[in-house]
Amino acid sequence: MKKRFQLQVENKNPDRLLEAIKHEIRKYIKREKRKPLLEGVDYWRIECRFAKEGEELKDIKFEELMRHIDEAAAEGCVGFELEIYSTKGLKINKDESASELY
């Protein structure tokens, strides 16, 4: 998903618009996680890139996504650009990773 969101739209309440944007993002992430896993993949890892209006996209952690959106809204930005994509995620057993070190 690569999309540009507007935070200030005429005749729309900014708070309701912000909640609608967050809802759309959460819905997309749930849909991505429901996709069937490929062979050898344990889970879908979500990667994010974020940019406020007039800035370049930069990689951010998925856990910090909503904080970045809230900051953009608090600063009064006109909009922001967001790119979300899923990658292959592999779980690492602690026992196996410890044995590889020695």
The mean pLDDT value for 37-45 works out to: 91
Q: How far, in Å, CA of 74 to CA of 8, rounded?
A: 12
Cα 26 from chain centre? 9
Given the structure tokens 């005749």, which residue do they identify? 11
> What does the pLDDT read at residue 92?
80
Contacts of 32 by beta carbon, 8 Å cutoff, 6+ apart: 44, 46, 84, 86
Between 92 and 37, the more confident residue is 37
Per-residue tokens: 52: 């406020």
Beta-carbon count within 10 A of 5 CB = 20
Model pLDDT for residues 71-102, shown as the tens digit of each residue: 999 999 999 999 999 999 888 876 655 455 44
Domain tally for the chain? 1
**Where are the extended beta strands (E) located within the chain?**
2-6, 43-52, 58-60, 79-89
Domain holding 82, by residue range, is: 2-101
